[in-house]
Amino acid sequence: MSAYRGGILMRNEKDAVLENVKRYLRESQNIVCVTGLRTVVEAGGIDIWDRDNLYRIEKEYNASPEELLSAGVFATKKEKFYDFYKKETLTQIPTPGPAFYALKKLQDVGKLKMTVSMNIYGLEYGVGLHNVVEIQGNIHSHYCPECRNNFSPEYVRDSVGVPVCNKCKVAIRPGIRLFGERVRNDLYTAAAQACADADMVIVLGTNLYGEKVQYVTGHYKGSRLVLINDKPHFSDRYADYVLYGRTDEILPRLVDEL
């Protein structure tokens, strides 16, 4: 594991960086955490944006994940949408790992005030986190657009062809944000306001370059923005401290010593 502070590589000072982050955790009483894709992969999920998976998907489906999970394909080619969605999203559903249990501990001691999820698997709820803002929606919320009945991922995954409501016989709508759809303003506002009010922000398993992460964390004006991710990215310089490695190894190590 190596570390950055203020954009300067500190390989020889990683212990000092860890101690500073631990001190911030002890001192902070209003922490917001943003969870990204690597937390899902560490929990057993698939990264469809991985280079090898992108190549495989393009070859198998003759389209990119962004196209296949788009509002346009859902509206006009539901069979194609659900063929991809069921195989690539619902077949291997991850379960919460140590990073999420570390967040639960932060919540239990009264420090974690909000989790902003950039994922679709609801892993935060799996460990009992409260006050979760799901920017991308949740696979556990498939619903009928007519009667609003909810259907489980298993119901959708095991259906033949396009899953339909057993009452209305209309196609079920996935509860995730599809490409081409805007993020709900109320979700953006809640996440941004929480970051603006926070005394510490922790970003797990993603970089700071993505538009949604930029928008949410951009409202934080403090000096305790901590990024934990598996690989360097040029946007790391916007964090106050960066720790490289697995989130499910680093975060528990930080939190267990509170």
At 114-161, the pLDDT tens digits run: 999 999 999 999 999 999 999 999 999 999 999 999 999 999 999 999
Residue 14's pLDDT is 72
The burial of 79, by beta-carbon neighbours within 10 Å (0-12 exposed, 13-18 middle, 19 or more buried), is given as exposed
Q: What is the pLDDT of residue 5?
A: 47
Model-level pTM?
0.92
Paired with 203 in beta bridges are 34, 227
Q: What is the rounded CA–CA span in Å between residue 112 and residue 202?
A: 10
Low-confidence ranges of the chain (pLDDT < 50): 1-2, 4-5, 7-12
Q: Are the C-beta atoms of 22 and 257 separated by less than 8 Å?
A: yes
The predicted structure's pLDDT at residue 123? 96
Alpha carbons 139 and 40: distance in angstroms, whole number: 13
Residue 40 three-state SS: helix
Domain boundaries, the chain: 1-44+95-139+182-258
- Distance CA(206)–CA(99), nearest Å, equals 14
Q: What is the 8-class DSSP label of residue 12?
A: G
What pLDDT is recorded for position 13?
Answer: 59
Structure tokens at 89: 């999203």
The 3-state DSSP class for residue 154 equals helix
Q: Say what the pLDDT of residue 90 is.
A: 95
Q: Give the chain's end-to-end CA distance (angstroms, integer).
A: 21
Q: Just give the CATH number of 1-44+95-139+182-258.
A: 3.40.50.1220
User: What confidence score (pLDDT) does residue 8 get?
Assistant: 40
